[in-house]
C-alpha cells in the first residue's frame, strides 16, 4: 500500500492496509503531503511527559496536549477496524476528517485508540498555503469532537494536567454552550456553576460516580469551561479514587 493518493480521499484505511503502508514507507505517508516533518518541540516535550499515556494510545491526553499548546496535529485513530486521519486545529477550533467522528456511536468511541501523531498534512481554511486546504465539507467544529471523546471515549479518569489535589468549577459557557449534557451530568454541570467541588464530592452527587465525574470534568476542561484551583478549601486529592475503581485508566 503506497501513500494516500489524495488527502481528501473519503475512504478510510483498513488497519491492515495502514500497517502495511507504514512498513513499506517508514511512516503512514501523510508526511509526504508537505509541511513540517516533526511536531513542534513544545508539544513533543509535553507528549514525552505523557509518554506512558501516548504509548497506550490515549487519544484524550494527546488531544488535550494539542489544545494546551494550540498546535495542530494529525492523529491517526483506530476506530474498530478502520484508521481515521483526524487533523486538529486548536487555534481555529476546527478539525479535518473525511467523516464526522463526533457523530460516531458511543460504543465505537469507547474503543478508540491512537495509532500515531504526526505533523498535519492539510491546513485550515484561509491558510496562505491554499493548495493544502482541503474540501470545505471535511472541516468541522472541534468542540463537539472533544466533548464526545471526553464523555464516551476510552479514558475514564482525569487528565494528568487537572488531576491531583484540586477543586473544580464550571465557568462561563466556553465552547460547551451548544453541547449536549444529558441527565445527571447536565445537572452536575449546573451545580458546578454555583459551587466548587473536588472529584470525590462530585462523584457522590445524585446520579454521578467516579467515572462520570472524571469524564464531565475532562469535557469541561477541553471546552475551556473549567476553573481548576489547588488552594480552594474544597480541594481534595483524587489519589486512589478512580484508579482504585478502574485501574490505570
Note the pLDDT of residue 232.
79
Q: Which of 5-14, 121-130, 232-241 has the lowest mean pLDDT?
A: 5-14
Burial 231-243 (b: 16+ CB within 10 A, else e): ebeebbebeebbb
Note the pLDDT of residue 228.
94
Per-position DSSP letters for 93-137, written without gaps between them? TEEE-SS-GGGS-HHHHTT-EEEEEE--SSB-TT-S-GGGB--GG
Q: Which residues contact 46 (CB under 8 A, 6 or more apart)?
A: 65, 68, 69
184 vs 115 pLDDT, higher one: 184
Angle at 71 between CA 67 and CA 75, to 5 degrees: 80
Angle at 142 between CA 192 and CA 190, to 5 degrees: 15
Grid cell of 35 as nine digits: 509541511
Give per-residue pLDDT as tens, 42-92. 777 766 776 666 656 789 999 999 999 898 999 989 888 888 889 999 999
Can you tell me the mean pLDDT for 187-211?
95
- Under the banding of pLDDT at 50, 70 and 90, the label for residue 17 is confident
Please give the DSSP secondary-structure letter assigned to residue 34: S
- Indicate the helix (H) or strand (E) that contains 245: helix 241-246
Note the pLDDT of residue 43.
74
Terminal C-alpha separation, the chain:
34
pLDDT at 33 over 50: no
Instruction: Work out the number of other CB atoms within 10 angstroms of the CB of residue 30.
Output: 23
- Under the banding of pLDDT at 50, 70 and 90, the label for residue 241 is low
Q: Judging by DSSP bridges, how do beta strands 82-89 and 94-96 pair with one another?
A: antiparallel
Give per-residue pLDDT as tens, 132-143. 788 889 999 999
How high is the mean pLDDT of the chain? 81
pTM beyond 0.85: no
Residue 190 CA to residue 172 CA, distance in Å, equals 11
Note the pLDDT of residue 7.
36
CA distances from 87 to 7, 108, 136, 219 (A): 11, 19, 14, 19
Q: Highest mean pLDDT: which of 29-33, 43-47, 224-228? A: 224-228
Amino acid at each position: 500500500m503506497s501513500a494516500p493518493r489524495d488527502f481528501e480521499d473519503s475512504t478510510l484505511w483498513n488497519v491492515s492496509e495502514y500497517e502495511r503502508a507504514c512498513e513499506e514507507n517508514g511512516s503512514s505517508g501523510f508526511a509526504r503531503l508537505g509541511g513540517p516533518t516533526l511536531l513542534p518541540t513544545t508539544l513533543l516535550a509535553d507528549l514525552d511527559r505523557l509518554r506512558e499515556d501516548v504509548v497506550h494510545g490515549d487519544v484524550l491526553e494527546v488531544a488535550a496536549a494539542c489544545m494546551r499548546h494550540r498546535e495542530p496535529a494529525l492523529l491517526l485513530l483506530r476506530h474498530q477496524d478502520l484508521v481515521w486521519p483526524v487533523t486538529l486545529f486548536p487555534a481555529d477550533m476546527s478539525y479535518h476528517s473525511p467523516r464526522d467522528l463526533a457523530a460516531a456511536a458511543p460504543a465505537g468511541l469507547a474503543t478508540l485508540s491512537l495509532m500515531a501523531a504526526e505533523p498535519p498534512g492539510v491546513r485550515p481554511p484561509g491558510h496562505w498555503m491554499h493548495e493544502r486546504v482541503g474540501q470545505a465539507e471535511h472541516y468541522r467544529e472541534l468542540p463537539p469532537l472533544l466533548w464526545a471523546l471526553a464523555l464516551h471515549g476510552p479514558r475514564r479518569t482525569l487528565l494528568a494536567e487537572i488531576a491531583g489535589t484540586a477543586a473544580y468549577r464550571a465557568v462561563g459557557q466556553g465552547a460547551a454552550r451548544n453541547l449536549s449534557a444529558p441527565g445527571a451530568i447536565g445537572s452536575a454541570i449546573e451545580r458546578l456553576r454555583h459551587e466548587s467541588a473536588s472529584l470525590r464530592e462530585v462523584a457522590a452527587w445524585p446520579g454521578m460516580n467516579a467515572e462520570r465525574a472524571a469524564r464531565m470534568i475532562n469535557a469541561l476542561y477541553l471546552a475551556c469551561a473549567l476553573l481548576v484551583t489547588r488552594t480552594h478549601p474544597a480541594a481534595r486529592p483524587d489519589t486512589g479514587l478512580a484508579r482504585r475503581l478502574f485501574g490505570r485508566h
